[in-house]
Amino acid sequence: MKKYEWIAMNPEDTMIIAERLAALLQKGDVITLEGDLGAGKTTFTKGLAKGLHITKTVNSPTFTIIKEYFGNLPLYHMDVYRVKDSFEDLGFDEYFDGNGVCVVEWAHLIQDQLPEEYLKICLYYDKETGRKIVFSPNGTRYMQLCEELF
């Protein structure tokens, strides 16, 4: 499957691509974010929020599992690091076909509970300070989205 790469030398570069992506998003879209601690998953989400004209500050939802923000579209920011098996039991999967955009940090931990189609985004440390951001579209909707974005 085709992948798309973006090199971000600083947090602003990470936010730029996220902001551009935000402009193309529709309700029901699901984005997964993978990467080591400090790779920039939350920074990327801040860029998405900016692009969706959300004025509230986005913080990591590590201890709350999900945070909701309201802009052009609702943004459901999830961090499933501590959830694992109970994700469906807690009813969080309902957000996937809801009225907004879902962003899931550490999504591989709930791999079997993800929708069939989603946009997978992996952030890697690149040399000293930069990051490499790899977009892997899963399904037609996200393949088109990436074609438009890049």
Contact set with Mg ion (CB under 5 A) = 41-42, 60
* CB nearer ligand ADP, residue 38 or residue 53: 38
* CB nearer Mg ion, residue 60 or residue 72: 60
Answer yes or no whether residue 107 interacts with ligand ADP by CB under 6 A: no
Answer yes or no whether residue 10 interacts with ligand ADP by CB under 6 A: yes
| Residue sitting closest to Mg ion (CB) | 42
* CB nearer Mg ion, residue 14 or residue 42: 42
The candidate with the shortest Cα–Cα distance to 40, out of 22, 24, 58, is 58
Q: Shortest Cβ distance from residue 141 to Mg ion (Å)?
A: 25
Name the binder of 14 from ligand ADP, Mg ion, none, CB < 5-8 A by kind: ligand ADP
Name the binder of 29 from ligand ADP, Mg ion, none, CB < 5-8 A by kind: none
The candidate with the shortest Cα–Cα distance to 36, out of 108, 88, 113, 137, is 108
Instruction: Report how far residue 58's alpha carbon sits from residue 43's, in angstroms, rounded to the nearest whole number.
Output: 9
Q: Are 49 and 69 in contact (CB under 8 A)?
A: yes
Answer yes or no whether residue 131 interacts with ligand ADP by CB under 6 A: yes
Q: Which residues of 15-30 are buried (b: 16+ CB within 10 A; e: fewer)?
A: bbbbbbbbeebeebbb
Backbone φ, ψ for residue 30 (5° rounding): -125, 130
Q: Are 131 and 121 in contact (CB under 8 A)?
A: no
Q: Which stretch binds ligand ADP (CB under 6 A): 31-39, 81-89, 108-116, 135-143?
A: 31-39
The amino acid that residue 132 corresponds to is K
Which residues bind to ligand ADP, rule: CB under 6 A? Answer: 8, 10-11, 13-14, 35, 37-43, 60, 129-131
